[in-house]
Amino acid sequence: MQPNYSAARTGAVLAPAQHRVLRNTYWLLALTLVPTAIGAALGFNLDLSFIRSNPVLSIVATLAIFYGWIFAIERNRNSVIGLGLLLGFTLFMGLLLGPLLRVALGLANGGQVVMLAAGMTAATFFALATVATTTRRDFSFLGNFLLVGVIVVMLAVVANIFLASPLLHLVLCGVFVVLSSMLILYHLNAVVQGGETNYISATLSLYIAIYNLFSSLLQLLMAFTGQRE
């Protein structure tokens, strides 16, 4: 997870190669919002109650599809197939987001909660993007820490499948907010520093971090500010 950086820029001026990767990453990241919105609309309206009938099996299957899809995207990241797989992946992630949005919008102040979560996510991303693209600092030292953090958090998520602790769930949401923010900074800085040269891989990493940031913020806001009808 820790790339070998080269001296890609001087001061805050990006080298042409890094500027191209960063520009393509931003454009593709914006494009992923379209299939995500479509998937969320489908998930919002579909009856997915069968998932709750066997939550352990459903989560295991979801994780298998999630990581299998990521593996397929990375294997094809240098071709148009990788692009298609990425857009399909964001459609799938939107589908998973739909039920959460349905619960959120079922609150008396659901619309405000969703908009606040989206606004906080956007503000966090733009703030971190500004830091990552203007600072001279190399954040590659975060790589090992973030790798360990992701592994520990995922193990905790799996453990909570069996524990079903609401308190642990909220704690994990808070950890996801911090970890996702650090991952956004890390991956953007990797593009700027020349450690990431593939915009499909960069977009995939950033999309997952932004997705987790938004969904975690939304769940925290629902828990602490949501008003039941």
Tokens standing for residue 128: 């971190």
pLDDT of residue 8: 42
Q: What is the DSSP string of 167-224?
A: HHHHHHHHHHHHHHHHHHHHHHHHHHHTS---HHHHHHHHHHHHHHHHHHHHHHHHHH
| Confidence category of residue 20, pLDDT binned at 50, 70, 90 | very high
The per-residue pLDDT for range 146-196, each reduced to its tens digit, is: 999 999 999 998 898 888 899 999 999 999 999 999 999 999 999 998 889
pTM of the model: 0.90
The per-residue pLDDT for range 23-39, each reduced to its tens digit, is: 999 999 999 999 999 99
Nearest CA to 158 out of 168, 148, 167 is that of: 168
Nearest CA to 24 out of 185, 200, 205 is that of: 200
* % of residues, the chain, pLDDT over 70: 90
Average pLDDT over the chain, rounded to whole?
89
Burial class (CB in 10 A: 0-12, 13-18, 19+), 43: buried
pLDDT of residue 118: 97
Taking residues 97-104, report their average pLDDT. Answer: 94
| Confidence category of residue 49, pLDDT binned at 50, 70, 90 | low
Taking residues 199-208, report their average pLDDT. Answer: 97
pLDDT of residue 50: 61
Taking residues 78-107, report their average pLDDT. Answer: 95
pLDDT of residue 18: 87
Residue 13, strand partner residues: 10
pLDDT of residue 48: 65
Measured between alpha carbons, how far is 92 from 157 in angstroms, rounded to an integer? 20
Helix (H) or strand (E) holding 37: helix 33-45
Does 13 have pLDDT greater than 70?
no
Pairwise pLDDT comparison (46 vs 215), residue with the higher score: 215
